[in-house]
Chains A and B, each alone.
Chain A
Amino acid sequence: MNASRNKQLYLDNGHLNLSLLFQEYSQPLFYYALKFVDQEVAKDVVQDVFFKLWEDQSLNVSSSLNGLLFTMVRNKCLQHLEKQKVRSRYQEEVVSQMREDEILFYSSGASSLIEKELQMQLQQAIEALPEKCREVFVMSRFQDKMHKEIAAELGVSVKMVEKHISKALQIIRVQLKDYLPLLVLFPSCFSSSVK
């Protein structure tokens, strides 16, 4: 299956099949960029990355397309943050610094869940949470409820809700430890398309 997909990613003249690439990768790349920059910027970043691919059509990326795309997004985000830092006032600087630090974290080899096809594992990890914890996590993350609302609905304090969320994240992280801290020496290539 991988082999046939690889073929599709290239046109007959050996150039990248940008349309297909865009379809497959633009959404995960957008949400990846969203970790570091705002929504409109994230859209631009994805545009820029694919435009660059178009400019350099003959790019041979057969071994690690996935890794290359996510790295390109990171670099674009970094460029944006640096530009912004020059312009912004001192108080806003700390957010840029935090985001830069996060990009650095990923540049040094950590990979995000977004790069991998891990929906099932994530869902299983949620299922495995203690009941109260799961309830609060799902309400907060999936139903976009304010913590005040959740607290009122469940008859607990807002502090308790915060605690449950922190605990949920911790438990999920431990559950997914096999996937999370991977050092990407050989970035997984086409197998990790995210739907």
Chain B
Amino acid sequence: MGNIEEIKSKYIRKESRQEEDQVLFQWLQDHPAERKEFYQEKDIWDSYDLVKDSKNYSPEIESRKLHKRIRKAKQTKLVVLPYIKVAAVFVFAFVSSWLIQSQYLNQEQLAHEVEMREVSVPKGQINQIFLVDGSRIWLNSESTIEIPSIFTGDERVVKLSGEAFFEVAKDAKHPFKVKVEGQTIEVLGTSFNVRAYPNSSVIQTTLNTGKITLQTKKGKLAISPGEQTELDKATGDLTLKKVNPSNFDSWKDGRYEFVDEDLIEVFKVVERWYDVELIYSKEDFELMNFSGVIKRNNSIQHFLTLLGYSIPINYEINMEKVKISKVKEAKQTKN
């Protein structure tokens, strides 16, 4: 029959047999102190059904059912109580205006079949999303992703603005597609990082494992693990180079690793990560590269100190605004 831990775990997963339920019920009666822990563990398990929407519950369909029922109830009321028809007219006017409005909305939703869900992450934060199909997405600061509430049809399509790391569950019959401005990435089951911020002139796609295909206006390109493409948004040109992918997805673990990265681009990352506005003159830092690691749970000062090691700078922090300037003379001062 197995021990009680095993039965508990089976019951939580709804895989227990009746004899086992009997044993468990008796055990709970005999051990009232364990009851809370058991139901809490079950609750953790149950709650994930909502996170995953594992039963594909559709509020739209259910809402239509409810409206039908309300309409029926309305009619019955009118027949049963004809003498208060006058009053009923007022009620009916109110209800029908609500019905018409929501029916109209429903029809619109029906036309689109599935509702798109938008997830946005503000500056200074990162978030992780689990999809119904088992895929995982890490969403970086100031990024937005659009996901359908359920995947229907032949493809799993999401839309991204900003940076995200994808771990896509394999499903050869339903290719996964990531649409960003100017390119579409087609995936069968793999992990990769996309950086497509609107305020950047390029889109970076870095592949960790598996295989992806990139579709741009100029054509298709298959990418292998360890390769990175850079799409120039203005010209549509695509360049391919070898990189160490872990440098580009470490942000999801709270670190950013830069290797000879353009300093202005680094500044943009810093602004997003620490939710600050950097004020600097472009000429001061143009054509400079930065290498180093910044951590999200360090403060902005940490980055500025790090930067100060390689370039003599002055900085001034005033709430969310940070002024940085290069020290022109040889002497180095800091406020």
Instruction: State the A residues within 8 Å of B (CB).
Output: 11, 13, 15, 18-19, 22-23, 26-28, 30-31, 34-35, 39, 43, 46-47, 50-51, 54-55, 91-92, 94-95, 97-98, 101-102, 105, 110, 112-114, 118-120, 122-123, 127, 141-144, 162, 165-166, 169-170, 172-173, 176, 180-181, 194-195
Which residues 26-80 in B have Cβ within 8 Å of A in the complex? 28, 35-37, 39-55, 57, 59, 62-63, 65-66, 69-70, 73
B59: which of A27, A141, A165, A166 is its contact (CB, 8 Å)? Answer: A27
For the complex, is B320 an interface residue (Cβ under 8 Å from A)? Answer: no
Contact B36 A110 (CB under 8 A): yes
A118: which of B35, B47, B52 is its contact (CB, 8 Å)? Answer: B47
Summarize A's interface: helix, strand, loop or mixed: helix
Contact B55 A39 (CB under 8 A): yes
Chain B residue contacts of A27, Cβ below 8 A:
50, 53, 57, 59
Chain B residue contacts of A31, Cβ below 8 A:
46-47, 49-50, 55, 57
B128: which of A118, A123, A141 is its contact (CB, 8 Å)? Answer: A123
Check A23/B59 contact, CB under 8 A, given A35-B46, A113-B43.
Answer: yes
Check A120/B63 contact, CB under 8 A, given A28-B50, A39-B55.
Answer: no
Contact A114 B46 (CB under 8 A): yes
Complex CA–CA separation, A21 to B240 (angstroms): 50
For the complex, is B94 an interface residue (Cβ under 8 Å from A)? Answer: yes
For the complex, is B25 an interface residue (Cβ under 8 Å from A)? Answer: yes
Q: Assign chain B's interface to a size class.
A: 35 or more
Contact B94 A172 (CB under 8 A): no
Complex CA–CA separation, A171 to B261 (angstroms): 40
Which residues 1-46 in B have Cβ within 8 Å of A in the complex? 5-6, 8-9, 11-12, 18, 21-22, 24-25, 28, 35-37, 39-46
Complex CA–CA separation, A166 to B41 (angstroms): 9
Contact A13 B49 (CB under 8 A): no
In this complex, which of B43, B46, B128 has the most chain A Cβ atoms within 10 angstroms of its Cβ? B43
Contact B36 A122 (CB under 8 A): no
Which residues 98-113 in B have Cβ within 8 Å of A in the complex? 98, 101-102, 105
Contact B36 A47 (CB under 8 A): no
Contact B49 A142 (CB under 8 A): no
For the complex, is B169 an interface residue (Cβ under 8 Å from A)? Answer: yes
Contact A172 B44 (CB under 8 A): yes
Q: Can you sample 8 A-B contacts with CB below 8 Å? A: A26-B57, A27-B50, A34-B46, A34-B49, A35-B42, A142-B52, A166-B8, A173-B37
Contact A102 B39 (CB under 8 A): yes
Contact B41 A173 (CB under 8 A): yes
Q: What distance in Å separates the Cβ of B128 from its nearest Cβ neighbour in chain A?
A: 5
Chain A residue contacts of B12, Cβ below 8 A:
169
Which residues 202-249 in B have Cβ within 8 Å of A in the complex? none
For the complex, is B303 an interface residue (Cβ under 8 Å from A)? Answer: no
Residue of A nearest to B135 (CB): A142
Contact A165 B28 (CB under 8 A): no
Contact B48 A141 (CB under 8 A): yes
B66: which of A22, A105, A173 is its contact (CB, 8 Å)? Answer: A22
Complex CA–CA separation, A91 to B127 (angstroms): 46
For the complex, is B134 an interface residue (Cβ under 8 Å from A)? Answer: yes
Chain B residue contacts of A120, Cβ below 8 A:
127
Contact B57 A113 (CB under 8 A): no
Complex CA–CA separation, A51 to B5 (angstroms): 41
Contact A166 B9 (CB under 8 A): yes
Check A165/B9 contact, CB under 8 A, given A22-B63, A26-B62, A94-B18.
Answer: yes
A110: which of B39, B47, B53, B101 is its contact (CB, 8 Å)? Answer: B39
Chain B residue contacts of A95, Cβ below 8 A:
18, 21
Contact A105 B36 (CB under 8 A): yes
Contact A141 B45 (CB under 8 A): yes
Complex CA–CA separation, A91 to B63 (angstroms): 36
Q: What distance in Å separates the Cβ of A25 from its nearest Cβ neighbour in chain B?
A: 9
Closest 4 CB pairs of A and B: A113-B47, A31-B50, A169-B41, A143-B134
